[in-house]
Chains A and B, each alone.
Chain A
Amino acid sequence: MSDPVEVKTLIIDEQEVSALRGQTILDVARENDINIPTLCHMEGLGDIGACRLCLVEIKGSNKLLPACVATVFEGMEVSTNTERLRKHRRTILELLFAERNHICSVCVANGHCEFQALGQELGLTHIRLPYRNPELTVDASLERFTVDHNRCILCMRCVRVCAEIEGAHIWDVMGRGINSIVITDLHDEWGHSACTRCGKCVQVCPTGALFDKSKVGSDHPKYPDFLPFLNLMREAQ
């Protein structure tokens, strides 16, 4: 392999920017204050490219690439906010809103929800798709936290933070397709799982799916910023 510290120059939204080899488009864009919407991405966690909101257009290719995992190359020209992309992003958000029971007005995360904020940011005024209204459960068996599957958007942040950072890996996915659901242990109740009660999953959850019981009825802001800091401290050791 050649020198890893090779510098690339590229164009994002008509702005010339520089990047290191191996950097993702999303990293470079955010360094340069270019906003690309994301949901499953979280600084400090491994990326899975699942929510498809960060799709960007690359000049010369008809394929859309997820900015969170696509790495830069010399001379690449990226467009992050075309009409085509905005349309796809709105449809994706619509699909999510219609998938489960997302009623902001009665949600514990109202006002502090990344999903809600994205809807507002992308100008989502109404949902054209039929609501699916699935019957889903709420697991409040743990003394401090609750999981409400009605608000879950399957971003897998809880699964990743538990496996990658806490090292407990009690969260995982069960089922397929539209019937996928996050579970604790082997689909045991959360309160009877091997959960360490660290609460990292609650802090990284973008919606009101995972919440602190003590915050019900009051404001429930989340503080996911601990993650990059924690990673930094661990690396320093």
Chain B
Amino acid sequence: MTIEELEQIVESVRAENAKFDYEVNVCMDLACASQGSEKLRDALVKAAEASGKKVMVRRTGCMGPCSAGPLVRVDPEEILYSHVNADHAGAIVSSLGGEPVPSLQCDLNEHFDKQVRVVLENAGHIDPEKIDDYISCDGYKALMLALMEMTPNGVIHRITESGLRGRGGGGYPTGLKWSTVAKAGGNLKYVVCNGDEGDPGAFMDRSVMEGDPHRVIEGMAIAAYAVGASKGFIYVRAEYPVAVARLTTALREARRRGLLGSNIGGTTFGFDVEIRLGAGAFVCGEETALLASIEGRRGTPKPRPPYPAVSGLWGKPTLINNVETYANIAPIVRNGGKWFANMGSERSKGTKVFALTGKIANTGLIEVPLGIKLWEIIDVIGGGVPGGHKLKAVQTGGPSGGCIPAEMLGLGVSYDALMAAGSIMGSGGMIVMDDTSCMVNVARFFVEFCMTESCGKCIPCRAGTAQMYTLLSRFCDGTGTMDDLELLEDLCLTVKEASLCGLGQTAPNPVLSTLKYFRNEYIEHIVNKRCPAGVCNIQAPVEVLA
């Protein structure tokens, strides 16, 4: 495969597409598929054949606003239809070339206008199982560019210049991580992609892997070239069977095209990727636990240092990044570091994908430039809280994150601002809560999650989260005391400071942040035995007869 051959593929795809007058794109991502987009596509194909019009029906990855699904977009007019089912296929096909179907058309301009799509640029536009579709959207151009025209150090320099920070949650500068692995000695190094997305309410990485798998593979290949690795692993949780299937297809196609394997692009660079499945442990998203799991051992974290960059898989230097981080690499290499650094805020560059869920009108996947105000995400992109309810808080960062109260909607979303507010960016889950949510109960939910997902290796996390859960349950059932609250705060501090890995160190965050902003709700539960949101089932105290 050379740049010329890539261009030939682009030409042939264009020639093929030019045979059609209309493109009907059907979102086949999980949310739409669960509402029958598979049947819809078949109906559209049938209707198109019957109509005699030159229509290409294409299945695509997630288009974004899942709550409006199943979604269909007609190109080149870019008309978006929502809540489409198989019965609408005839109407859509017969409208082609004329006026759009008014009853299905949806107005999500505000939803899309504030978004900037880098990671999701192809999502909803290409068939994830066709490598040629990806290539026709500048796919693998960045890899070829890197191999033909750039030195490994040049690639790292470009990534450093872009200011990209790890999208898995920690926000570690990606360029710095790459240069550390590049400098590590030895001729055997590994590149690992962390696709063990496990936060409740988060599905960014799944959508990327399902909707645009080649983007991840290309990012990994560029990373391998930059750090001098020859072997890669994608660690995907087994709960994502579609992602696994799409990645498997993508890897096979990439090998067939000579974009993986030995002598890629006619150079001496060789790289291949293997998929490893996670068996359902949240803690395996922690890098040292993930590496242990790839090696076939029990997925428990190890104290760092040594960092994986020095001693990772089988003791070899290992670069480990998140799915979304790799998905950013190809556009950065193609467009330059400065292009990326121009987006975002002072210390958080670029864009970030968020999974917007909870009590909000437009749930789904969004991509916004960092630094965007929280209210813009909630009120403009998300369409506000439905049902006449009042926004109470936004939970970011999953079980490691915290709750940001409605009063702080002016906050610019960036790594540092969220940290300062007592939450974290995390991998990008954003759960919107209205006045029907009890914050004590929310804290208990996340602590319960951490308790059941703790690996059990270190004491503060294993026993600490269990005790935190017991104390929070007391508040929820009305038996808690002010002494319990003091004890809980004390415990949170030890779990936070003394736990071995990130899971334990951040497990108290939902408690600490709700205590910071919604302390009165705790007091209400303890002193007045009352749940202001009416969620907790507090029984009236039984009168003891004398």
Contact = CB atoms under 8 A, between A and B. Distances in A.
Interface of A: 48-52, 55, 64, 66, 69-71, 84, 87-88, 91-92, 95-96, 98-99, 128-130, 132, 153-154, 156, 172-173, 175-180
Interface of chain B: mostly helix, strand, loop or mixed: helix
Given A64-B498, A69-B303, A176-B454, A92 B466 contact: no
9 tightest Cβ-Cβ pairs between the two chains A and B:
A180-B456, A177-B454, A49-B303, A95-B463, A91-B494, A178-B466, A99-B463, A52-B498, A177-B456
Contacts of A95: 459-460, 463-464, 467
B499 A176 contact: no
A165 to B, nearest CB: 19
B498 A88 contact: yes
B459 A177 contact: no
A99 B490 CA distance: 17
Contacts of A156: 457
A180 B462 contact: yes
B467 A51 contact: no
Given A95-B463, A130-B471, 4 more contacts: A88-B498, A177-B456, A177-B461, A178-B465
5 contacts: A176-B453, A177-B452, A177-B454, A178-B456, A178-B465
B464 A176 contact: no
Contacts of B374: none
Given A55-B498, A64-B498, A129-B467, A92 B303 contact: no
B442 interface: no
Contacts of A49: 302-303, 458, 500
Contact of B458 (A52, A88, A130, A173): A52
B538 interface: no
A178 B499 CA distance: 14
B79 interface: no
A206 B460 CA distance: 19
Contacts of A96: 459, 463
Which has the most chain B C-beta neighbours within 10 Å: A51, A153, A172? A51
B455 interface: yes
A64 B494 CA distance: 11
Contacts of B461: 177
A176 B497 contact: no
Given A130-B470, A176-B453, A88 B497 contact: yes
Contacts of B457: 48, 50, 156
A52 B463 contact: no
Interface in B438-486: 451-467, 470-471
Contacts of B455: 176-177, 180
A129 B471 CA distance: 9
Contacts of B487: 128-129
A172 to B, nearest CB: 8
Counting chain B residues whose Cβ lies within 8 A of the other chain, the interface size class is 20 to 34
Nearest to A63: B497
A206 B322 CA distance: 40
A130 B481 CA distance: 13
B500 A91 contact: no
Given A51-B458, A91-B491, A176 B281 contact: yes
B494 A92 contact: yes
Which has the most chain B C-beta neighbours within 10 Å: A69, A99, A129, A175? A129
Contacts of A128: 487
Given A52-B498, A91-B490, A92-B494, A173 B463 contact: no
A172 B298 CA distance: 10
Contact of A177 (B303, B453, B491): B453
Given A91-B490, A128-B487, A154 B499 contact: no
A69 B288 CA distance: 15
A132 B465 CA distance: 13
A171 to B, nearest CB: 13
A152 to B, nearest CB: 12
A162 B494 CA distance: 31
B160 to A, nearest CB: 25
A51 B303 contact: no
B357 to A, nearest CB: 25
Contacts of B497: 64, 84, 88
Contacts of A99: 459, 462-463, 466
A62 to B, nearest CB: 9
A112 to B, nearest CB: 22
A99 B470 CA distance: 12
A64 B497 CA distance: 7
Contacts of A91: 460, 490-491, 494, 498
Contact of A173 (B298, B303, B452, B490): B298
Given A50-B458, A92-B494, A98 B303 contact: no
A71 B305 CA distance: 9
Contacts of A70: 303, 305
Nearest to B458: A50
Nearest to A128: B487
Contacts of B470: 130, 132
Nearest to A90: B494
A160 to B, nearest CB: 13
Contacts of B491: 91, 129
A96 B455 CA distance: 16
A132 B451 CA distance: 14
Nearest to A95: B463
Nearest to A97: B463
A98 B453 contact: no
Given A52-B500, A91-B490, A128-B487, A179 B302 contact: no
B354 to A, nearest CB: 29
B456 A92 contact: no
A66 B527 CA distance: 40
Contacts of A177: 451-456, 461-462, 465-466
Contacts of A179: 456
A130 B465 CA distance: 13
A88 B494 contact: yes
Contacts of B463: 95-96, 98-99, 178
A153 B298 CA distance: 19
Given A129-B467, A173-B298, A177-B465, A92 B452 contact: no
